[in-house]
Amino acid sequence: MKKRNLGLALSAVLASGTLLAACGSDDAKKDDKKGDKDAFSVAMVTDTGGIDDKSFNQSTWEGIQAFGKENGMTKGNGGFDYLQSKQDSDFTTNINNLVRRDFDLVFAVGFKLHDSVEQVAKQQKDAKLAIIDEVVEGHDNVTSIMFKANEASFLAGVAAALESKTDKVGFIGGMEGAVIGGFQAGFEAGVKAANPKVKVDVQYAGSFGDAAKGQTIAKRMYDSGADIIFHAAGGTGNGLFTEAKERKKKDAKADVWAIGVDRDQYDEGKVGDTNIVMTSVLKRVDIAAKDVSKLTKDGKFPGGKTITYGLKDNGVDLADSHGAISEKTMKKVEEFKAKIVSGDVKVPELPAKK
């Protein structure tokens, strides 16, 4: 009887020791993770345009990928990743998903994710979130990233006004609001500053993912005499490229041009040996994504703050025109750029009320 009790007691001790050892092992792993300064992960949630929208989502992802490569990270949990939103109702779910997967920083791309970021920020106090092209106030766990797109759009307006042969250009917006309004305001101001005689046809598609609608609007603008069209419409802008390329294919001498947005969209304009993309208004979202990721990794997460990138800090600019813009016009563009950086020229942030 005594031997049996001794055996049970010994078994209990051994089991307890094994359990404690296991718990100690888990705790050690957690402590190791906390103590490992290099252990960092970052992910992003797209808007409905998709990861390969040739625009904002793609630029953000390229920045995250570059950051991951520079820091020896791999795609997936514990490294870097993304989730695509097929519809607006996916935003909150996707952000929560990445937070629960323990990503140290989660980017939300686009102003449409504002409410979802705010909701998750309230519920997940320990989460570190960053929203691009929108401001979420009152939350220390959210960084807002903005761009002075109006400044680069002003330069696009100068180039369009001086290069237009019909004295009529166009602007296609995705959805009306402060962000896209900045593009429109800058473009119209640049056109007016360079050549007040040039008229700007402004139309909104009401969507960032309707290429067919974008093509319809572009067709109407080209038919009415516009020879250069600037879009700030995400995936909807793909319709502009389609329309311009089709016209160029039918008539190699057709004087039709498109101005891209967010990233250099030159590759979207290839038509045989020529190209219909004059230039693109760049928002260096890739640089912003890398910057904020690095700050967060270094323990300097700028929570509760808004970081704004403009011409002065190379956060926005015009892409290489590959010779589509004359040297004379480029000289004028550079003159206006210097004046904007110095503060001599103030670019409006919102369209003038009509």
pLDDT at 36: 54
pLDDT at 34: 43
Tokens of 46: 């797209």
* Helices 178-194 & 149-163 angle (0-180, nearest 10): 40
The tens place of each residue's pLDDT in the chain, 354 residues long, gives 434 343 433 334 334 443 333 344 334 333 444 445 568 999 999 999 899 887 789 999 999 999 999 999 999 999 999 999 999 999 999 999 999 999 999 999 999 999 999 999 999 999 999 999 899 999 999 999 999 999 999 999 999 999 999 999 999 999 999 889 999 999 999 999 999 999 999 999 999 889 999 999 999 999 999 999 999 998 899 999 999 999 999 999 999 999 999 889 999 999 999 999 999 999 999 999 999 999 999 999 999 999 999 999 889 999 999 999 999 999 999 999 999 999 999 999 999 886
Question: Residue 319 and residue 280: Cα distance in Å, rounded?
Answer: 5
SS3 40: coil
pLDDT at 56: 84
Query: Please, which residues have CB within 8 angstroms of residue 239's CB and are 6 or more apart in sequence?
Result: 210, 211, 212, 213, 214, 215, 216, 217, 218
Query: Please, which residues have CB within 8 angstroms of residue 285's CB and are 6 or more apart in sequence?
Result: 56, 59, 60, 63, 132, 145, 147, 262, 263
Question: Residue 266 and residue 238: Cα distance in Å, rounded?
Answer: 12
Q: Percent of the chain scored above 90 by pLDDT?
A: 82
Read off the pLDDT of residues 196-248 as tens digits, 9 standing for 90 and up.
999 999 999 999 889 999 999 999 999 999 999 999 998 899 999 999 999 99
pLDDT at 32: 41
SS3 204: strand
User: Could you say which architecture CATH assigns to the domain 149-283+323-342?
Assistant: 3-Layer(aba) Sandwich (3.40)
| Nearest of 98, 104, 103, 130 to residue 117 by alpha carbon | 130
Q: Which fold does the domain 42-147+286-311 belong to in CATH? A: Rossmann fold (3.40.50)
pLDDT at 31: 41
Question: Residue 112 and residue 80: Cα distance in Å, rounded?
Answer: 23
pLDDT at 45: 98
Query: Would 42-147+286-311 and 149-283+323-342 be classified into the same CATH topology?
Result: yes
pLDDT at 322: 95
Sheet of strand 228-232, all strands in order from the earlier edge strand to the far edge: 199-204, 168-173, 228-232, 257-262, 277-283, 316-318
> How would you label 244-256 residue by residue, b for 16+ Cβ within 10 Å and e otherwise?
bbbbbeeeeebeb
Given 3-state DSSP classes, what are the helix, strand and coil percentages for the chain, each rounded to the nearest 5? 50, 20, 35
Largest Cα–Cα separation, the chain: 108
Q: Which amino acid is at 106?
A: V
- What predicted TM-score, i.e. pTM, was given to this entire model? 0.79
pLDDT at 15: 40
Q: What are the boundaries of each domain within the chain?
A: 42-147+286-311, 149-283+323-342
